[in-house]
């Protein structure tokens, strides 16, 4: 429904079902599915298909996501739209293939080398997976950048009924094509939006694609003014729309003394814990993040300022909580609840922590 017509991937637990579904669905819609020899080749094929004009994606888990980092960096520099799903599992290394984790939060932002922005969306339900996948493709095409859908085994293997909207009510964005003839086209020159129009290979427009720093024609350069302008544009094309990437849900936060900040499957447990805490007379609330990167610091700051304490539960040893602490700057007390043993953080565990820290 997002318009994806190409998938290249390699099977890996717990993301294999995505690949299986795409192998079945894409051919029926005139799309192309390819099983590649590994995750590096998978993202390489996705980048190639995107350059040829198709909305393209792949899906993997932690070890495969590690292998994709070089190509993620390339896609950022060459400004090639693509969507990458990372279904997090226990690690490091091969870790616990069948059990959930949230250990790739920092890797999703900083795993690829070089200094560049990235967009990371985080669903916590089957419907949000549907909704954020469509939004992910839209953002990828709008900004000519890779978009990562970061989820965990708990969410990816959840089966639940959802009501999907009619296709005609969905907002589907397509990539902007050049409005000038091929002989006037300058591949990486766009001073208005910061996102140059992108023709497909084979449409008569010739341009050079490279992972090297390049000038506005796409050719490698080491001139400081050209390199600086390129990096500034890569950042500004997303940062100028930072206010449009503030996607979150809040529950019972209006009078909350303690606020939980959570994402993914942990947010589901946190919501149940908040409901049970309210039944016991505890004024607690939940801020559920749907965008992890760029980090929604202004939204988080608002809840930090209105709370006495903030609890950040995560299935890792404290990754997103570092960002919460960074923007806190003494506004309130930050408490972490960390678990990395391959089991879900339960509502009971979160409720117990709430009762321990409640003023």
- Enumerate the domain spans of the chain: 4-169, 249-357
The three state secondary structure string of the chain is CCCEEEEEECCCCCCHHHHHHHHHHHHHCCCEEEECCCHHHHHHHHHHHHHCCCEEEEEECHHHHHHCHHHHHHHHHHCCCEEEEEEEEECCCCCEEEEECCCCHHHHHHCCCCCCCCEEECCCCHHHHHHHHHHHHHHHHHHCCEEEEEEEHHHHCCCCCCCCCCHHHCCCCCCCCCCCCHHHCCCCCCCCCCCCCCCCCCCCCCCCCCCCCECCCCCECCCHHHHHHHHHHHHHHHHCCHHHCCCEEEECCCCCCEEEEECHHHHHHHHHHHHHHHHCCCCEEEEEECEEECCCHHHHHHHHHHCCEEEEEECCCCCHHHHHHHHHCCCCEEEEEECCCCCCCCHHHHHHHHHHHCC
The pLDDT tens digits along the chain (359 residues) read: 999 999 999 999 999 999 999 999 999 999 999 999 999 999 999 999 999 999 999 999 999 999 999 999 999 999 999 999 999 999 999 999 999 999 999 999 999 999 999 999 999 999 999 999 999 999 999 999 999 999 999 999 999 999 999 999 999 999 999 999 999 999 998 877 899 999 999 999 998 999 999 999 999 999 999 999 999 999 999 999 999 999 999 999 999 999 999 999 999 999 999 999 999 999 999 999 999 999 999 999 999 999 999 999 999 999 999 999 999 999 999 999 999 999 999 999 999 999 999 99
Asked if 274 and 260 count as a contact pair (C-beta separation under 8 A), the reply is yes
- φ, ψ for residue 281 (rounded to 5)? 85, 10
Per-residue pLDDT, 190: 82
Separation between Cα atoms, residue 100 and residue 346, nearest integer Å: 13
Per-residue pLDDT, 193: 86
Per-residue pLDDT, 258: 98
Separation between Cα atoms, residue 87 and residue 316, nearest integer Å: 14
For residue 119, give the nearest of 273, 261, 291 by alpha carbon: 291
Residue in this structure with the two tokens 């129009």, named with its chain if needed: 197
4-169 is classed CATH 3.40.50.970 = yes
Q: What angle do CA 230, 73, 292 make, to 5 degrees?
A: 95
Tally of CA atoms within 13 A in the half-sphere of 217 that contains its CB: 5
Asked if 193 and 237 count as a contact pair (C-beta separation under 8 A), the reply is yes
For residue 18, give the nearest of 40, 41, 42 by alpha carbon: 42
Per-residue pLDDT, 192: 79
Can you read off the two tokens belonging to residue 68?
């994709």
Separation between Cα atoms, residue 109 and residue 208, nearest integer Å: 27
Asked if 119 and 296 count as a contact pair (C-beta separation under 8 A), the reply is no
Per-residue pLDDT, 191: 74
Burial of 272 (0-12, 13-18, 19+ CB in 10 A): middle
- In this prediction the pTM is 0.97
Q: Do domains 4-169 and 249-357 have the same CATH topology?
A: yes
Can you read off the two tokens belonging to residue 97?
């293939």
Residue in this structure with the two tokens 């318009």, named with its chain if needed: 3
Return the CATH fold of 249-357.
Answer: Rossmann fold (3.40.50)
Separation between Cα atoms, residue 160 and residue 126, nearest integer Å: 7
């Amino acid at each position: 429904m997002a318009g994806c017509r190409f998938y290249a991937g390699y099977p890996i637990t717990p993301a294999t079902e995505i690949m299986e579904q795409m192998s079945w669905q894409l051919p029926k819609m005139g799309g192309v599915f390819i099983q590649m020899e590994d995750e590096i080749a998978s993202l390489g094929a996705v980048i190639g298909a995107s350059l040829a004009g198709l909305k393209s994606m792949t899906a993997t888990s932690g070890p495969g996501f590690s292998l994709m980092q070089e190509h993620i960096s390339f896609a950022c520099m060459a400004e090639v739209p693509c969507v990458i799903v990372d279904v997090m599992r226990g690690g490091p290394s091969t870790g616990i293939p069948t059990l959930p984790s949230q250990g790739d939060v920092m890797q999703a932002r900083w795993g690829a080398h070089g200094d560049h922005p990235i967009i990371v969306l985080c669903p916590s339900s089957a419907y949000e997976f549907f909704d954020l996948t469509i939004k992910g493709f839209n953002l990828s095409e709008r900004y000519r950048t890779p978009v990562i859908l970061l989820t965990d085994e708990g969410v990816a293997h959840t089966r639940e009924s959802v009501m999907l909207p009619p296709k005609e009510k969905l907002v589907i964005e397509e990539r902007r094509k050049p409005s000038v003839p091929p002989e006037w086209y300058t591949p990486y020159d766009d001073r208005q939006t910061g996102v140059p129009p992108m023709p497909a290979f084979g449409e008569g427009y010739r341009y050079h694609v490279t992972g090297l720093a390049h000038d506005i024609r796409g050719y490698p350069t080491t001139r400081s003014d050209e390199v600086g302008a390129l990096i500034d544009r890569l950042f500004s094309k997303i940062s100028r729309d930072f206010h449009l990437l503030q996607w979150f849900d809040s529950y019972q936060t209006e009078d909350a003394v303690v606020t939980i900040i959570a994402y993914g499957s942990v947010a589901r447990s946190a919501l149940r814990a908040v409901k049970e805490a309210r039944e016991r007379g505890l004024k607690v609330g939940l801020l559920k993040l749907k965008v992890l990167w760029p980090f929604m610091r202004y939204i988080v700051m608002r809840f930090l300022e209105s709370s006495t304490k903030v609890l950040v539960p995560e299935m890792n040893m404290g990754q997103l909580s570092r960002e919460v602490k960074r923007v806190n700057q003494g506004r309130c007390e930050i408490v972490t609840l960390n678990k990395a043993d391959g089991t879900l953080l339960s509502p009971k565990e979160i409720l117990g922590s709430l009762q321990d820290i409640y003023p």
